[in-house]
Amino acid sequence: MNRAGRPTGHRTEVGVIGIGLFAKIVGGIVAAGAVGTAVVVGVSAGGSAGDAVVTRVVDGDTVDVRVGGRDERVRLLNIDTPESVDPDRPVQCLGPEATAFLEALLPAGTPVTLEYDDVRTDRYGRTLAGVFTADGTLVNTEIARAGLAAVVVFDDNVRFLPPVERARAQAQQAQAGLYSPGTACTVPALVAQLDETVAAHPVRTPPDGAPAAEFEAAAAAPDVVVAAAAALADLLTGQADQPPVAAIPEAERAVLVDAVQEIGRTARTQGTDLRSSADEIVRAEAARRAEQERLAEQERVAEQERVAERERARRTEQERAERERETAPAPERRADPAPSGDPYPGYTGPRCYEPGGRVWHPCPS
């Protein structure tokens, strides 16, 4: 870590992570590796030791001590805990918990022994050391065993690396700290969240004959999975050197990234297929409407032609009738019959004449 705890060396990461349920979707991270409970750690011979007294815990992997009548800031070797005090960076996952854990292990006034490796100070002037309590417990490993640190190497100092690596594997196996699926900010928890997202957004292909809108709506589910998988893959690749991602060994992280990306690819393919189906339905519907419109137009034109044909036939008939009337001979005109002078034809009874003797009518009986 820097003056507030930022790492200055490169990391080395070990172990094999089991990825449960990845054959199907995404499950939690199942830790694998050695299990143990030892707290007293033997280390290879290295630099000389120095007795000191803890005066203050700075953060999860840095303490201030009084040694040989002077104050020194000690950076614990081969571990890197999440940030909790760096003013230039946000508090990281379980950073405060790591600090509290070290405060519980090394309260002010605790006598400790500092053991060194080849390089004893970093570029910030901090002492690089393994910190042992009076009972021989290597504090560096206890932090790793609690699952509160990633494994790192500073300036090729590897004296305490083997016990730290074993302790980290034990933490992973126990799903402690940064390996706990029950802590929302850890990688296992984020993987479990992706698993839940996949389970909560199953892809349901609409039945044959369903409208395009149903296929478009169905594509929303894989879209959610694509976004979740992309976010997790970006975290795993973009923050590989920072907790909580750095707590996952590199080889395991690569497997995890591949699995997460495969989930994203599968979901993207599902969404693409559903939208392709929707597009095909839209095109088919457009073609059907176009055919209907073509047939309707064809019928309209045919009906217009039938109406025109009937009108032509009517006019032809009308013209034929007019020609027949024009060419027909005029009918013979018969003379009106002359009046008979007998206003009562067939009457043979007595006649009664009007005065003057010219107009008569039947006499009343």
Peptide bond into 82 cis (omega under 30): no
**Strand pairing class (70-76; 79-80):** unpaired
Inter-CA distances, 172 with 19, 35, 141, 252, 280, Å: 12, 9, 13, 12, 49
73 within 8 A of 131, measured Cβ to Cβ? no
Amino acid at 81: T
Number of H helices, E strands in the chain: 7, 12
75 given a catalytic annotation: yes
CA angle, corner 13, sides to 135 and 75, nearest 5? Answer: 45
Inter-CA distances, 253 with 8, 18, 78, 174, Å: 22, 10, 19, 18
Tokens representing 33?
Answer: 């590796």
Residue of 13, 83, 142, 165 marked catalytic: 83
Residues in the chain, overall count:
365
List, as own/partner pairs, every contact residues 235-243 make where C-beta atoms lie below 8 angstroms and the sequence separation is at least 24, other chains included.
235/190, 236/187, 236/260, 241/7, 241/11, 242/92, 243/80, 243/81, 243/82, 243/83, 243/92, 243/93, 243/94, 243/95, 243/149, 243/150, 243/178
Residue of 126, 159, 168, 253 marked catalytic: 126
210 within 8 A of 41, measured Cβ to Cβ? no
Residue of 13, 72, 75, 142 marked catalytic: 75
How many Cβ atoms are within 10 Å of 343's Cβ, its own excluded?
11
CA 316 vs. chain centroid, Å, equals 74
314 given a catalytic annotation: no
* Catalytic residue set: 75, 83, 126
